[in-house]
């Protein structure tokens, strides 16, 4: 059995929370593993070389038989899916998905790209992987890290070219199979977004998931040992995947992460924000046309007017 819907990203745009909320619906089955990355890395030897990249190397699924195993418990679920944010970014993923799943429904959530890049940096620093002291230092090292084959979460700016990435899907799939929401919508009216997603997936939109637990909370871990146990492969997580349904695991994981993280966030420097927004401006304008949505708030003049 294979999925009939995919949550493709973008990374650091609320996909972990959405994945958990979707999995609570009685007619939705979500893969027991988030980020299997199959359609981006099939038949490859995954050997990313950055700090902590061994997690991606170990958890990515590269053969069809193992991938199908993820969905063997789907039973009679109406919507069967998985979430891999690499699918939006990886150049060959859209074509690979279209070859094997031409009728699949595809969901994307997009976050203002400068803010998304900074959130990715904070995520890596929280997990003890980012050793550089500032976001600006990390941006200067990005191309060197890409050449050294560090995994995609290190590609802080490159991950934000959404038009370039989404165009691959719009060029292959009928529009009725593609649905795109903005991160701001998810933040301001998550229940509306989830109702629309359930409708898109063909399941009862009146179901209301428990949204009290936030996933991938930004901040500083109270216990580094607990944080490592929650975020890195280990025997306890392997057993939990075998014994607990994905929806319950997601709620437990989110609750433990939320309890262990002390909320802390430094603001993105205004000059860095403007520089990144200028870098993305052409792509944002094209994305606005592709989606027929007003994305002017993502442009540098909008940022300047708020200062």
In tens, the pLDDT along 249-260 reads 666 766 666 666
Per-residue pLDDT, 307: 39
Domains of the chain in start order, with CATH, are 5-272 (3.40.50.300)
Question: Dmax over Cα atoms in the chain, in whole Å?
Answer: 53
Bridge pairing between strands 219-221 and 178-182? unpaired
User: Residue 205 gets which letter from DSSP?
Assistant: T
Percent of residues, the chain, with pLDDT higher than 70: 81
What long-range pairs does 141-144 form, CB within 8 A, spacing at least 24? none
Per-residue pLDDT, 14: 96
In tens, the pLDDT along 153-199 reads 999 999 999 999 999 999 999 999 999 999 999 999 999 999 999 99
Q: Is 59 exposed, middle or buried (0-12, 13-18, 19+ CB in 10 A)?
A: middle
Q: Which stretches of the chain score pLDDT less than 50?
A: 304-307
Residues, the chain, total?
307
């Amino acid at each position: 059995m294979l999925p009939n819907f995919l949550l493709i990203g973008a990374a650091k745009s609320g996909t972990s929370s959405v994945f958990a909320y979707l999995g609570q619906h009685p007619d939705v089955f979500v893969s027991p593993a988030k980020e299997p990355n199959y359609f981006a890395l099939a038949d490859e030897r995954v050997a990313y070389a950055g700090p902590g990249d061994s997690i991606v190397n170990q958890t990515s699924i590269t053969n069809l038989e193992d991938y199908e195993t993820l969905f063997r418990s789907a039973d009679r679920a109406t919507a069967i899916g998985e979430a891999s944010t690499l699918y939006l970014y990886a150049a060959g993923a859209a074509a690979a998905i279209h070859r094997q799943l031409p009728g699949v429904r595809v969901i994307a959530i997009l976050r203002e790209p400068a803010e998304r890049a900074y959130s990715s940096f904070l995520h890596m620093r929280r997990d003890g992987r980012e050793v550089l002291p500032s976001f600006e230092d990390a941006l200067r090292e990005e191309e060197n890290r890409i050449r050294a084959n560090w995994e995609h979460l290190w590609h802080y700016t490159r991950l934000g070219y959404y038009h370039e990435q989404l165009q691959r899907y719009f060029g292959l799939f009928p529009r009725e199979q593609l649905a795109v929401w903005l991160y701001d919508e998810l933040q301001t009216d998550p229940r509306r977004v989830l109702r629309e997603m359930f409708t898109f997936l063909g399941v009862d939109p009146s179901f209301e998931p428990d949204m009290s637990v936030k996933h991938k909370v930004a901040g500083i871990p109270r216990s580094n040992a607990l944080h490592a146990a929650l975020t890195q492969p280990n025997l306890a997580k392997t057993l939990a995947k075998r014994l607990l349904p994905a929806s319950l695991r997601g709620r437990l994981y989110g609750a433990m992460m939320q309890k262990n993280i002390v909320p802390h966030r430094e603001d993105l420097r205004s000059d860095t924000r403007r520089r990144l927004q200028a870098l993305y401006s052409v792509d944002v304008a094209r994305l606005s046309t592709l989606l027929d949505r007003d994305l002017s708030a993502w442009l540098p003049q909008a940022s300047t007017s708020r200062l």
